[in-house]
Amino acid sequence: IQGQESTLPVTLEEMIYHTKTVVRGRKRALVVADMPFLSFQVSLEEAKRNAGRFLQEAGAEAVKIEGGVHMLETVEAIVQMGIPVMGHVGLTPQSVHRFGGYKVQGKEKEERAAILQDALAVEEAGAFAVVLEGIPMDLAQEITRRLSIPTIGIGAGVHCDGQVLVVHDMLGLFDMYTPKFVKRYADLRGVMADAVKQFVAEVREGKFPDEEHSFH
């Protein structure tokens, strides 16, 4: 949305603002707020306070936290406050520099075992669901089989309990690089560009505004 190359620059205040707008527009969907970088890693107290702000100020019903085993205590602490937590393991965007870029995780045996343990830890900590991102589909299938909570896949194959795509990718709002796992269901960027071009042309030609779109 902002033209950033990663999610790292996104602030807590920005996410609270975005979450508020989503809450105002939804009719029946569960709103899960994505906790941004530095909003939950510094301390348990900060993590709990910031998670609470998403419910109190933004109107979310749950929060999402990236990380597995090393975030077990954080997830537990927030759940104990009565706040539902969704986990997120595999290719976690806030750790993009540690991964050396947006690369599929879990191809090697050790990585597979670590991601499985991350998912199990998130469930043990009390999460109600977990996002599996950028991992081989057979690993996602194994994790889904091993967990009792729902798995939501993004670039994780067909065997997850649910699926998610970034709406801007799905609707074709950008012409930048599209990951392999993204399917474009529309070309709204093209539609929008054509509409603006038509508007500019009609203004230059004196066709807009016409009688129909003028007051008398």
d(CA 176, CA 172): 10
Residue count of the chain = 216
Q: Tell me the backbone φ, ψ of residue 80, rounded to 5 degrees.
A: -65, -20
Tokens coding 167 = 């709406």
Classify the phi-psi angles of 101: left when phi > 0, otherwise alpha if psi is within -120 to 50, otherwise beta.
left
Maximum pairwise Cα distance, the chain: 74
CB 210 within 8 A of CB 216: no
133 tagged catalytic = yes
Distance between CA atoms of residues 14 and 33, nearest Å: 11
Omega of the bond leading into 209 within 30 degrees of 0 (cis):
yes
In the structure encoding, which two tokens stand for residue 207, read together? 């066709």
DSSP of 153-189, one letter per residue? EESS-TTSSEE---HHHHTT---S---TT------HH
Determine which one of 66, 123, 133, 142 is catalytic.
Answer: 133
What are the residue numbers of the active site?
A: 133
